[in-house]
Amino acid sequence: MDDSLELEVHDLEVPVLTGIYSEETHLPQPLRISIGVQLEAPAHYAPDTPLSASKNYLDLKRAATTALPPGVHFTLIEGVADHIADTLFLQDRRVRRVTVKIVKLAIAEAGESIGITLVRHRR
């Protein structure tokens, strides 16, 4: 079995143009986005191991924020998740798997979490 490292960023609140209903298509709606990235891991992380042996957590955050194209309307939140996964695969060849969880905050009526989790593997 190969060793791996899972990097995670949870609960980013990001306004995104998404939705299929007329009331959803004019303004960005808030999404709560969490991302997990599985990387190939070296045999050992010593105290002086450089960042290049891992991945910057901010890359995950940027994939869900500034890497989303401004002004683009995603019909489905699945498309948002796919864009985030594609961005992370393109950034780093060591990325083996990307998990993106998206919760649509605007449709919650009693604090429930309604959304999707997309898991993509490098092909």
In order, the DSSP letters of the chain are ---EEEEEEEEEEEEE-B-SSGGGSSS-EEEEEEEEEEEE--S---TT--GGGS--HHHHHHHHTTTSPTTPPBSSHHHHHHHHHHHHHHH-TTEEEEEEEEEEGGG-SSS---EEEEEEE--
pLDDT per position as a tens digit, 64-106: 999 999 889 999 999 999 999 999 999 999 999 999 999 999 8
Smallest Cα–Cα separation from 12: which of 72, 58, 48, 71? 58
Query: What pLDDT was estimated at residue 1?
Result: 67
pLDDT per position as a tens digit, 48-69: 999 888 889 999 999 999 999 9
Query: What pLDDT was estimated at residue 67?
Result: 95
Name which residue leads in pLDDT, 72 or 25. 72
Cα separation, 42 vs 3, in Å, equals 7
pTM of the full structure: 0.92
Contacts of 90 (CB under 8 A, 6+ apart): none
Where do the domains of the chain lie, and which CATH numbers do they carry?
A: 4-121 (3.30.1130.10)
Token reading at 10: 């949870």
Query: What pLDDT was estimated at residue 11?
Result: 97
